[in-house]
Structure 1
Amino acid sequence: MEVERVQEIASNLSKGTIPEEFIRTMTEQPGLTTVQGTVLEVPIIDLRDPDEQKVLKAIDDASRNWGMFQVTNHGIPEESIRNFQEVGKFFFELPQEEKEVYAKPEGSKSIEGYGTKLQRELEGKKAWVDHLFHKIWPPSEINYQFWPKNPPSYREANEEYTKHMHGVVNKLLRLFSLGLGLEEHEVKKAVGGDDLVYLLKINYYPPCPRPDLALGVPAHTDMSAMTILVPNDVQGLQASKDGQWYDVKYIPNALIIHVGDQLEIVSNGKYKSVLHRSTVNKEKARISWPIFFEPPADLEVGPHPKLINEGNPPKYKTKKFSDYCYCELNKIPQ
């Protein structure tokens, strides 16, 4: 095995120490850069509120001013969320050699598979996380090679969760469209329509002896159009607000929604992709289950033509989604 997994490193550590490559710079260390004693209460929006104008305004405000929000009464049964989380957790508790069966193939251009490193690491610093990536929709994009066979209910739990997710995705994309003053189908069409790709990532952050020094995932915005995630009950999501880092308070069974880069681009900057990061916990493993809703690789994404004019020129280049991702992952300016 060529890559040492963070889960293995964590299980072999002496008390109170972590390897040098996981110690972030002074400007990144959560112990120094987190605003203590203040929890960021990002907007919570009830998707079943009968006053749709109120819901629309709340989502529009959150997308412009926060880049993130939480939704309740989203229509995904608690049992479906719980089963989806349980099978993912089970996978990361398997013996190491069993997980390696699903490892991202050497030299693969895709990010699907079990892995540790995702992108070019700046200053040689590593993230305190292992992950599993695989596509869950549309069926034509799914590669079951990366879907764990153990537990046996893994596929069923993922398919059930995905089935319920369609309604949430369509509702949010429709509301984003209306919030931008577009026809209700136009944002969905701009990011791929029915070919929109659902990419699941399970993040596993093992207990870390020095959570003040390490980060699970460093500061980033999501490359997707939108991200919908559920975490376990271990706090760890942080967002940047007015240049400061805050813990995000999340509530049980809510879905956390991130505006992604492609939605920021389509909106020509009206909606903001949220800058966020993950911290780790000394005693407990933190797990999160984001689904990234991405345009097909060859789709060109740019500011929506109806949102640009002489007084409001395009602020972003139009480019293929695959080219955008390549630049981001390799830290090449867009």
Structure 2
Amino acid sequence: MKEDKDARWFELECVPKEYIFPMEYRPQNLDSPVCDSIPVIDLAKSKAANGHNSQPVEEILKASQEFGFFQVINHGMAEKTVTDAINVLKEFFDMQAKNTTGTVPHTKGYIYTNSTDFAKDGVHLWRENLKHACHPLEECVRLWPDTPTRYQEVIAAYIIEIQKLSSRILEMICEGLGLKQGYFKDTSEVQLLSSNLYPPCPDPSLTLGILAHYDPSLLTILYQGGSTGLQVMKDGQWVNVGANPNAFVVNIGNQLEIISNRKLKSVKHRVVNNTHETRRSIATFVNPSPDCIIEPAKHLVNELEPSLYPASQYKDYVLRNKAFGDYTAAIQNALR
């Protein structure tokens, strides 16, 4: 067994048929991918005299309009907080790989799925996943995995810092859109964590780590370290998101596209697999509160730019769009 191969994903010379997607879903041109061009934004750029980070604000708004994705560096999160989080998640997945009983833990507080549990139209994704709620943090943390023993403490510290970062980014987006300061203050929380393990794959052209989809969140903040695999749809082509070990990837979710009256884009994205490397990622979803009314901000609606979306409680939006699985069609179905 080669180093960095997960024990659950034993040496395979070919992809089992239950992991082979129909031709229309398979990734194309893996040998000659489109060059990475997702903007990387430095949040530590000097502040203007009025105290605002004018240049990063402009860069975030432009990236959100053109790509729906950007990366942030010099974000202020301690390297140890990030390293501890990715390491404890590695420990968790390693423990599942050593589980020889064939059972998978299911609790009220979290869901772990291995490759045989998560499928699309009878085809399995090439990944393992751990998902759990994060809000309210003090209540949720007690229901998270208790092994590794430091899991709850480490991930809680990570979530607290992600909340700070997401609030900072949302404030900058408010400034760029001309919305009042604190527009999202009482209506956005890090509500969900989704951690993924994508082991090496004998033939990535046949498989997918995650199907193409849109996010139903306000914002999604992803740590992927130095691993590749995330791709974004841009002008009908898949664009690779560069692997910057010190960056967080941020993408605009469906709710923020609605609130911005489509000034910002929620775009389709997916994860492709790799022949030699294991990819590990931590996705955190910043969502509105369930009872929050989601609609275009009144400041952004006028006779020349009428509202493109109906008002809806966030919980109703989610219920309506559950039929879309990963919410691939959710943004189109929110249109009037």
TM range (shorter): 0.7 to 0.9
From 187, 190, 200, the counterpart of 2:193: 200
Residue 253 of structure 1 corresponds to 246
Gap regions ≥5 residues in structure 2: 1-5, 48-52, 325-329
Where does residue 184 of structure 1 map in the other structure? 181
CA contact (8 A) 2:225 2:247 kept: no
- Give the counterpart letter for 1:79 in structure 2: K
Measured at CA, do residues 208 and 120 of structure 1 come closer, stay the same or move farther in structure 2, by a change above 3 Å?
closer
Give the drift of 1:140: 5.6
Partner residue of 1:10?
9
Which residue is 1:264 aligned to?
A: 257
Equivalent residue in structure 1 for 2:172, among 148, 152, 175: 175
* CA deviation after TM superposition for structure 1 residue 96, in Å: 2.9
> What aligned pairs does 1:39-188 form with structure 2 within 5 A after superposition?
39-51=35-47, 52-94=53-95, 95-96=98-99, 102-103=105-106, 112-116=110-114, 123-139=121-137, 142=140, 144-145=142-143, 147-188=144-185
In the alignment, is the contact (CA less than 8 A) between 1:27 and 1:33 conserved in 2? no
Residues 142 and 97 (structure 1), Cα distance of their counterparts in 2 relative to 1, 3 Å cut:
farther
Matched, 1:287 2:285: no
The alpha-carbon deviation at position 325 of structure 1 amounts to 2.2
Q: What SS does the corresponding residue of 1:219 show, helix, strand or coil?
A: strand
**Counterpart contact for 2:36–2:240, Cα < 8 Å:** yes
Residues 141 and 156, structure 2, Cα contact 8 Å, conserved in 1: no
Distance across 2 between alignment mates of 1:150 and 1:223: 30
Q: Percent identity?
A: 32
Letter of the 1:40 partner, please give it.
Answer: D
Pairwise CA distance, 1:9: 7.0
3-state SS of 1:174 partner: helix
Cα 1:219–1:185 change in 2 (3 A) is: same
Q: Within the alignment, does 1:22 sit opposite 2:25 as a pair?
A: no
Residue 122 (structure 1) shift: 5.5
Distance in 1, Cα, partners of 2:101 & 2:319: 30
Change (3 A) 1:35 1:330: farther
Q: What CA distance in whole angstroms lies between the structure 2 residues aligned with 1:33 and 1:328?
A: 31
Partner of residue 3, structure 1 = none
User: Does the C-alpha gap of structure 1 residues 311 and 136 become closer, same or farther in structure 2, counting only changes over 3 Å?
Assistant: same
| CA deviation string 1:28-64 (max 9, x = no partner) | 211x255824322211111111141111100110111
SS of the aligned residue for 2:320 comes to helix
Which residue identity does 1:22 align to in structure 2?
Y
CA shift digits 1:269-300 (9 cap, x unpaired): 00001211001122332111010001122322
The TM-score with structure 2 as length reference comes to: 0.85
Secondary structure of residue in 2 paired with 1:292: strand
Cα contact 2:190–2:284 (8 A) shared by 1: no
TM-score (structure 1 length as normaliser): 0.85
Counterpart of 2:70, as a letter, is: F
Supply the distance in 2 between the matched residues of 1:205 and 1:316 (Cα, whole angstroms). 36
Question: In structure 2, how many angstroms separate the alpha carbons of the residues matched to 1:302 and 1:8?
Answer: 47
Distance 1:123 1:154, change over 3 A: closer
Once structures 1 and 2 are overlaid, which stretch shifts more, 128-137 or 94-103? 94-103
Q: How many residues align?
A: 315
One-letter code aligned to 2:172: L
Distance in structure 2 (CA, Å) of the matches to 1:226 and 1:97:
38
Cα distance, 1:129 vs structure 2: 1.9
Question: What SS class does the counterpart of residue 38 from structure 2 fall into?
Answer: coil
- The residue number in structure 2 matching 1:4 is none
1:234 partner letter: S
